Structure 1
Amino acid sequence: MKEESIGHETSTFQYSEPSENKNPRPLIRIVDAIAIVVGIVVGAGIFRTPSIVAANTGSPELFLAVWLLGGLVSLIGALCYAELSTTFPNTGGDYHFLMRAFGKRFAFLFAWARLSIIQTGSIALLAYIIGDYLSQLYSIGTYSSAFFAAVVVITLTAINMLGVRFGTGTQKLLFAFEFIGTLCVVVVGFFINPAPSALSTLPLASLDNPSAIGLAMVFVLLTFGGWNEAGYISAELKAGSRKMVPVLVVSILITTVLYLLVNWAFLHALGIERIAASEAVGIDLMRVTLGEPGVFLIGILVVMATLTSINATIFTGARTNYALGRDFTVFARLGKWNLKTSSPINALLLQGIIALALIILGAFTRDGFQSMVDFTAPVFWFFFLATGIALFVLRTKEAGIARPFRVPLYPVTPLIFCGSCAYLLYSSLAYTGIGALVGVAVLSLGTLFFFVVR
């Protein structure tokens, strides 16, 4: 039994904490943390969403402006997270912030959502991107995509179970390949002129009536999503939790510059109309500049970018499961931290099993792939908004605690962040179908489960 003071009240958590499994050690360096954060954010989305953004902006100037605005909104959110993660450094990340602000029930609900919807769903979706591509190169039958996706999840989960050094080392290697490959796309877009014959085969979109800047921002911010995962490594940062501020700021700046360069290269090579009409803008760019060899190269880059995101998602997702097991007796096995490998092995294992179950489900319901995207989005933005509100709550509830970093221009800055999250929550419900309702239903099951295990 352990008494832990949270805010102005004392809450009792029943969990086992053997001496050999006490706390994670601070082994993650700043460069590792930046590689993890940027690796999560910069995934295959940057080679998919520009066409949707172009169709909803209608001009090159607006097209680039919304990407710049997306970076600015993300930076504002990162500053809010910087205050929370430096003031309350904890392996649980958002889970810990929500625990202190809103109590055990709400934190449990968030951990349940991460375990059953947000993180595992993201891992399965990302794995299917790789599976779909590899099955085009080498098909082994009807379930090729599911097989390759499962192999990716099993391999990366095993690597992270070997220890934090293996996990972060793999992340840096994947990130290096991804970063170099993305820069190659930029160079090709700027310095290799498209072949007129190849360019003429690409369709042109009608941009007389672009749909909505707001819808474009939905996809831009979704492409920027993932930087909040930095909160889960704040307690493991070797240089101390105060260094989370430069980690978050540098990560967002790198991501923003990279996205602007990539989209500028798309504009230079294809033009706004062809970007808007493209179903795979990265493939179209490489096809008109380097031909079919370029198509193969962009496929490899998409695989590397997705592998980077999956590895980082597995790494951070297990930290929430560990925090859940640490604080609730029924999940005590998840709360065991292996000091030898400095990793939550049981939490990684359960996360991998759930992700594999979702991959198997996807193998039998291929139309469910898009539904799985819908499945995660509303729940994700709901808890993102809740974390923004938690900043206001904790400023009042724990006003006397030392804050190494305070978000600038408070309360305007966090209000902008909360407003952005609220808009994206609305949009994720308005533009999605049955998948969103399934996600809400699974979240509701978590509420019932909490009262059962109480």
Structure 2
Amino acid sequence: MPEEQGHFQRAITLFDAVMLVTGGMIGSGIFIVSSGIARQVGSAGWLLVVWLLTGFITLAAAVSYGELAAMFPKVGGQYVYLREAYNKLVAFLYGWTLFLVIQTGVIAAVAVAFARFTGVLLPWFSETNVLFQVGPLALPFRDTPYTFQFTTVQLLAIALIVGLTAINTRGVRTGKLIQNIFGSTKLIALFGLIVLGFAIGVNAEAVSANFHHMWDAARHTAGQPTVPLSSSALVLAIGMGMVGSLFSSDSWNNIGFSGDEVVNPQRTIVLSMAIGTAIVTALYLLINLMYLMVLPLQGDPQATTLAGRGLMYATNDLVATAVAESFLGPVGAYVLAVLIMISTFSCDNGTILSGARAYYAMAKDGVFFPAMARLNKAGVPGVALWVQCAWGCLLCLSGSYGQLLDYVMFSVVLFYVITIIGIFVLRRTRPDAPRPYRAAGYPIIPLLYVALASSFCLILLTQPETADFSRRGLILVALGVPVYFLFGRRFARNTES
């Protein structure tokens, strides 16, 4: 293998790490997904419960996962933790899924969201503005003809991914600078929106409507009668609603991928995950409370006013935009578009920076393409960054935001469960190993996370709305087994040569 031209630089401080955690977690989801959650659970109280439960699960995962991060503060993060707790095969299955859909799926979905909101300011970027089309084509495995359309939204999404990848190949200091600027701007702007909403947007009628019967759970579907939820149905509805909230709270672990680039990693990684997840959880609860103080939760999809449509039927599910328009007028749509563009830009930058480090670690272990095990002159895995970029761009050309979300969340939570179980495995197999940090509340909190997250995965596998995508996600993981045995030795030979 050619000699590496650079080396990792310990440049990520605690502030940088917190910006990576919060910047990666806050994308476009918090501005959108509450609409879908509202339709699932049907009341203000249960909407807040979904976000509270999501916050608890995320914090429980972070304070548990920190034990592994402190034990193995190396580039590769979760891939390394799984390798040390289990073996290379389990770690490869995670890395394989990370590359195919988890990290690259998030990169693609967030880039598409950035492009869609750019269209609010520049209408040329629209999913109805088709640059070219292929088809319709009759394919043997499809009942209906297939048509591929390339839109200006896809063009901008791909341009964003390519541009941010190019920036991150210039070194970790460049990548973290972008993250710090846009991440801090995003936090300040989001806090400002919350303050404005409480200061000038509170609507007495909305408050009364939302909190008078705040525990009356029901499922709302446009054009169909409202269905009151029994206790068991409510549990399922909460689980389904958490697809969106967990997606909005994910990527808290990305800082672990950059272990060898973090200053004092045993302390910084753990602390940044705890601080970052706490900040984001608090902001998410506050912004949802603000939504409920400004607009009624329930509404009519045929209504022509913001209050008439309510949170659950906000146009295109743009809850934050509807809320901002209600107290800022038409300019609110533009304000939110700019905020979401900043948010998604920061989110994609952090996700792109982090993910390539995992593929580098896989390649160094001889289980992935050897070229990815090289650092460029700037001390970053340049080849891994560009391969990640290429696959993320391809994902932008296929599937919708919702489809990517469903694929991503099942795979993400499945591997979080396996990773947290790894804490118990390592306590048994390596009882004397140095543990600079021990999982808070062990064994109760880690076990509680495993139980709740496993229940979430089970709901996704059994509910008609998500079962198909979740099973496909499981198949993608399983396909990694033959890939590992077919190509693992070849990768290893090439790495050693």
Amino acid at match of 2:25: V
Contact in 2 for aligned 1:128/1:359 (Cα 8 Å): yes
- Aligned equivalent of 1:46: 30
Cα distance in structure 1, aligned partners of 2:247 and 2:77: 20
Q: CA deviation at 1:147?
A: 0.5
- 1:358 and 2:342 matched: no
Do residues 181 (structure 1) and 186 (structure 2) align? no
Residue 18 (structure 2) pairs with residue 18 (structure 1): no
Where does residue 383 of structure 1 map in the other structure? 415
Q: Pairwise CA RMSD of aligned residues? A: 2.5
What are the Cα deviations for residues 123-157 of structure 1, in whole angstroms up to 9, with x where unaligned? Answer: 11111112223345232631111101011101111
Q: 1:392–1:249: structure 2 CA closer, same or farther, 3 Å change rule?
A: same
Q: What is the CA deviation profile of residues 333-390 of structure 1, one whole-angstrom value per residue up to 9, with x for unaligned ones?
A: 101123x42211111010001111112335xxxxx44322222222222111110111
Contact 2:45 2:214 in 1 (8 A): no
Determine whether 1:392 maps to 2:429.
Answer: no
Find the aligned partners of 1:63 and 1:370 in 2 and give their Cα distance: 19
* Counterparts of 2:45 and 2:406, CA distance in 1: 30
Do the aligned partners of residues 437 and 72 (structure 1) sit closer, same or farther apart at CA in structure 2, a change above 3 Å counting?
Answer: closer
2:104 corresponds to which residue?
120
TM-score relative to the length of structure 1: 0.87
- Answer with 308-317 or 44-53: which moved more: 44-53
Q: Percent identity over the alignment?
A: 30
How far apart are 1:319 and its partner, in Å?
0.9
Q: Which range moves more in the overlay, 217-226 or 57-66?
A: 57-66
Cα distance 1:371–1:19, how it changes in 2: closer, same or farther (>3 A)? Answer: closer
Which stretch has the larger CA shift, 418-427 or 391-400?
Answer: 418-427
How far does the alpha carbon of each residue in 1:220-240 deviate from its partner, in whole angstroms, 9 at most, with x for none? 333222212222123321133
Residue-by-residue CA offset, 1:180-204 (whole Å, 9 max, x unaligned): 22122212211124799999xxxxx
* Equivalence for 2:248: 223
Q: Secondary structure at the match of 1:361?
A: coil
Matched letter for residue 429 of structure 2:
K
Unaligned runs of 5+ in 2: 131-150, 208-212, 220-233, 299-309, 490-497
Structure 1 residue 80 corresponds to structure 2 residue 34: no
Residue aligned with 1:186, SS? helix
What does 1:45-124 align with in structure 2 at a 5 Å threshold? 45-124=29-108
Compared CA separation, residues 409 and 442, structure 1 to 2 (3 A): closer
Decide whether the 8 Å contact of 1:198 with 1:287 is kept in 2: no
Cα distance between partner residues in 1 of 2:50 and 2:62: 18
Query: Which has the larger helix fraction?
Result: 1
CA distance in 2, matches of 1:156, 1:124: 12
Q: Cα gap change, 1:393/1:194 in structure 2, threshold over 3 Å: closer, same or farther?
A: closer
223 and 128 in structure 1: CA distance in 2 versus 1, 3 angstrom threshold: same
- CA gap of 1:165–1:59, structure 2 versus 1, over 3 A, is same
Aligned residues: 427
Residue identity in the other structure for 1:268: M
Cα deviation for residue 97 of structure 1 reads: 0.6
For 1:222 and 1:329, how far apart are their aligned partners in 2? 28
The corresponding residue for 1:427 is 459
Structure 1 portions without partners, runs of 5+: 1-15, 200-204, 363-367
Counterpart pick for 2:281 among 251, 256, 259: 256
Kindly report which structure 2 residues correspond to 1:135-146, keeping only aligned pairs within 5 A, or say none.
Answer: 135-136=119-120, 137-139=122-124, 141-142=129-130, 143-146=151-154
Name the residue aligned to 1:155: 163
Q: Secondary structure at the match of 1:28?
A: coil
